[in-house]
Structure 1
């Protein structure tokens, strides 16, 4: 049987949020994601490559795996995150292979954005 190329790869990410509208606004404004609603308690998002969902049916908590997004222009993306209401929790720093920053979304999830430039 041939592999689909999806085996053992991140396929979907789900966030428990307190307010789907607020999550849509934040991620739409900060990253240009698109959305599909599936009732009042679930909304699917797409970044053009990966899909995931926002749900109000679970416990909202911070922590967990660190989701890292890529950006061609790190400085511009940082500005967009702040403008959308994100809180920078680790300013831009260098690491082998590039630079990145960490931010918290309106529900307290910590994510990171990196660039190879």
Structure 2
């Protein structure tokens, strides 16, 4: 499952509501800025309380001084999705970075 759209279109809130309603969904973030620690303002990163209610993956995985690219995103996202399905749960890919979403969905390298 994937929920994609432009920045500030309400994806995070909708994903959170869907995950809570379904009960067996974890969110995999496909946003090129939400991966950075400390970049909470201006990225619409889910709040700590939202993250406590629904498990999120790929948030805060890089320091702002690090480069983070598709080459780093893909193995992390794939590993998260394998782990999620391995627990008998469903993954919901959420984000606005089209290249990340397309590469993951189309299984590009």
Q: Same fold judged by TM-score > 0.5?
A: no
Q: TM-score, normalised by structure 2?
A: 0.30
Q: RCO higher in 1 or 2 (8 Å CA, sep ≥ 6)?
A: 2
More strand by share: 1
Q: Bigger radius of gyration, 1 or 2?
A: 1
Q: TM-score, normalised by structure 1?
A: 0.28
More helix by share: 2
